[in-house]
């Protein structure tokens, strides 16, 4: 993953003489600092023109320090995507905790993603550059539908649970999950192209669209609730 020694044979990030917990904390902070610099440079200059030298300069470190922490640009980019999604995932999960029912889930899920990205526009721009331009050695896109399978599976499970509770009508949950994520991606793509666009209003409309597209009619939902209550009583 990274070289263990700097050019002089010492730890390459100035950590010699420190205890292991101190080194671990310093290295964690420095890696996060480099990743933040990568986000800013990629967002400003685009993926192709974002060089390791520019990222090092933005982070205020040498290229050697980046090489100590990351094997190369590819690993740095992959860790950057991971850090962005970790932050987004934690933000969304905290707001989904305790939510019950598909309607509430849709509102909080779509709304919290929009809220997070509204405050992290550079991250959104950098991700867009990475997703369009970052390719594997065989020429394929590194990120795309295949890498999104865990996300599709999670959203699909939410829709299936809603169907089992009688809240949602019968439909292909995987198709709906893919379509929902596509709608979220398109929302951000449009907002990126038109900064004056009301992102939160768009998120609200998207929530209503998918709730009306997936919900069961009120009579069917009521019957399902009655059946569930009878099963509990029996």
Instruction: Give residue limits of the domains in the chain.
Output: 1-71, 80-233
Q: Is the CATH number of domain 1-71 1.10.10.60?
A: yes
pTM of the predicted structure, to 2 decimals: 0.79
pLDDT at 227: 53
The candidate with the shortest Cα–Cα distance to 41, out of 125, 132, 131, 141, is 125
Q: How far apart are alpha carbons 155 and 96 in whole angstroms?
A: 13
Q: DSSP class of residue 216?
A: P
Q: Tens digit of pLDDT for each residue in 159-196?
A: 999 999 999 999 999 999 999 999 999 999 999 999 99
CA 144, 147, 150, 153 dihedral sign is positive
Residue 72, classed as helix, strand or coil, is coil
Distance of CA 198 to the CA centre of its chain: 21
For domain 80-233, give its CATH number from 3.40.50.1110, 3.40.50.300, 1.10.3720.10, 1.10.357.10: 1.10.357.10
Q: Tens digit of pLDDT for each residue in 107-133?
A: 999 999 999 999 999 999 999 999 999
- Find out whether 62 and 56 touch, Cβ atoms under 8 Å: yes
């Amino acid at each position: 993953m990274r070289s263990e020694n700097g050019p002089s044979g010492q730890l390459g990030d100035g950590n010699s003489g420190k205890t292991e917990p101190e080194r671990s904390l310093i290295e964690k902070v420095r890696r996060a600092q480099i990743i933040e610099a990568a986000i800013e440079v990629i967002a400003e200059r685009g993926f192709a023109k974002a060089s390791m030298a520019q990222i090092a300069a933005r982070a205020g470190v040498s290229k050697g320090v980046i090489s100590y922490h990351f094997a190369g640009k590819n690993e740095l980019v992959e860790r950057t995507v991971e850090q962005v999604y970790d932050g987004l995932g934690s933000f969304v999960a905290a707001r989904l905790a305790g939510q019950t029912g598909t309607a509430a889930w849709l509102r909080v899920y779509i709304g919290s993603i929009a809220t997070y990205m509204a405050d992290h526009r550079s991250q959104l721009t950098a991700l867009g550059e990475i997703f369009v331009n970052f390719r594997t050695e065989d020429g394929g896109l590194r990120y795309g539908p295949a890498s999104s399978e865990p996300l599709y599976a999670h959203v699909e499970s939410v829709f299936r649970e809603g169907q089992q509770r009688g809240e949602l009508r019968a439909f292909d949950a995987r198709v709906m999950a893919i379509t929902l994520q596509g709608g979220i991606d398109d929302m951000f793509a449009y907002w990126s192209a038109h900064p004056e666009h009301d992102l939160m209003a768009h998120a609200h409309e998207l929530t209503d669209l998918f709730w009306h597209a997936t919900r069961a009619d009120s009579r069917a939902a009521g019957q399902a609730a009655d059946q569930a209550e009878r099963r509990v009583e029996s």
